[in-house]
């Protein structure tokens, strides 16, 4: 699993123990990934801040701050973690496993930040920056200065409306876990184009956004 993750992020660890720690939740054992998450959060903010500063020289500070906040929020990290299949690599305690922790957005987002921190310790700031820049390239490329950042459901709706097609349906497929830590599975159905995708998240809203993002990506790839 660790080797597949290294291939996905295109970085090979000199000290694999750092990656193992980055993927160890506090419910499993100690040392866990909380300290690496703290480190990774700082690195992520610095790298994204520089990217925005260099890409958008005419955008004022307040707008840059809002753009950065949107890029480093839990929802964005969670989506990237799903694309990397990070959940399959995380070590969780038995209780967290039973409650669906492997799908919980906060656990996945924190683990990805911890991986960034582990890369910094293993290969330096430049290596961490290269990995972050690669993972965030699609999100950064989609930013249009002066235009509000639209969520996936809005972009999917506008895509379908532009083609005069019916709007998608969102269907609750399942709910797992205890009441305080539920994981929702939502299907996004675009019947007229025979597209159906699923998203999982700690709330219906997050799950719908993930399902919509997958549906939009599939539609754009087949245009």
Task: Decide if 63 is catalytic.
Answer: no
For residue 188, the cross-strand partners are: 170, 197
Q: Which of 113, 122, 208, 213 is catalytic?
A: 113
Residue 147 lies in a domain: no
Residue 168 has pLDDT above 80, yes or no: yes
Q: What are the tokens at 126?
A: 């430049």
Report strand pairing: 169-176 vs 195-201.
unpaired
Based on the fold, state whether residues 104 and 171 are members of the same structural domain: no
Q: Which of 41, 75, 122, 208 is catalytic?
A: 41
Q: Which of 117, 141, 165 is the last residue of a domain?
A: 141
CATH number at residue 195: 3.30.160.20
Specify the 3-state DSSP secondary structure of 28: coil
Specify the 3-state DSSP secondary structure of 14: coil
CATH number at residue 86: 1.10.1520.10
Residue-wise pLDDT for 47-74, tens only, equals 999 999 999 999 999 889 989 998 999 8
Residue 147 has pLDDT above 80, yes or no: no
Question: What is the residue range of 96's domain?
Answer: 2-141
Give pairs for 95-102: CB < 8 Å, separation 24+: 95/27, 96/25, 96/27, 96/28, 99/176, 99/177, 99/178, 99/181, 100/176, 100/177, 100/181, 100/182, 100/183, 101/25, 101/27, 101/181
Based on the fold, state whether residues 121 and 196 are members of the same structural domain: no
- Phi (first) and psi of residue 10, to 5 degrees: 60, 45
């Amino acid at each position: 699993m660790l080797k597949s993750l290294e291939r996905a992020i295109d970085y090979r660890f000199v000290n694999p123990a750092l990656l193992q720690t980055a993927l160890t939740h506090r419910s499993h054992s100690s040392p866990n990934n909380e300290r690496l998450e703290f480190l990774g959060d700082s690195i992520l903010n610095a790298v994204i801040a520089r990217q925005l500063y260099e890409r958008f020289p005419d955008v004022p500070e307040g707008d840059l701050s809002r753009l950065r906040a949107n890029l480093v929020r839990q929802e964005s990290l969670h989506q990237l973690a799903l694309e990397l299949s990070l959940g399959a690599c995380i070590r969780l305690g038995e209780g967290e496993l039973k409650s669906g922790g492997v799908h919980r957005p906060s656990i996945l987002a924190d683990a990805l930040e911890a991986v960034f921190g582990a890369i910094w310790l293993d290969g330096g700031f430049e290596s961490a920056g290269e990995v972050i820049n690669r993972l965030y390239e699609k999100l950064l490329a989609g930013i249009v200065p002066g235009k509000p950042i639209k969520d996936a459901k809005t972009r999917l709706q506008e895509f379908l409306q532009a083609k005069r097609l019916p709007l998608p349906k969102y269907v609750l497929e399942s709910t797992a876990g205890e009441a305080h830590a539920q994981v929702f599975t939502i299907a996004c159905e675009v019947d007229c184009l025979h597209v159906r995708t699923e998203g999982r998240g700690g709330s219906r809203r997050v799950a719908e956004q993930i399902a919509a993002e997958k549906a939009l990506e599939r539609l754009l790839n087949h245009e």
